[in-house]
Structure 1
């Protein structure tokens, strides 16, 4: 069995559940975000390190702002685009 097949055996694909979020969030808040493959294993998740990292950065991270941008943010984007372009 190849390394990829063994890794695939240990990891799970599909949507994250509230229960899995509740395992990942407290672990990262307590121990910090370091080696994500270790975080996945130590938190008791059958997920890849990359999956845990992406879930934390894009959905669970404290202070993550979601939703519409403010008029001030929109104006800042317009000003910076005028100054720097794409």
Structure 2
């Protein structure tokens, strides 16, 4: 259970960096900002749906958090370039 809470804490910290990177990108404006906003919205809808399905199928909350962290890390890598 401690690993779950630690991963929740890491998810929060990593997510804050992605929020900052996205806001930086969107503050510039233009087509890239619009594309990022659309991507962000679509990712949130898709991931929430996947998480709900996985929970309904019996996945553990820890695996859901791990999935979110994987997606956040991918966004961080993409936005950091």
**Between structures 1 and 2, the one with greater helix share:** 2
User: Which structure has more RCO (C-alpha within 8 Å, separation ≥ 6)?
Assistant: 2
TM tier, smaller:
under 0.3
Greater Rg, structure 1 or structure 2? 1
Q: What TM-score does the superposition give when structure 2 sets the normalisation length?
A: 0.24
Q: What TM-score does the superposition give when structure 1 sets the normalisation length?
A: 0.23
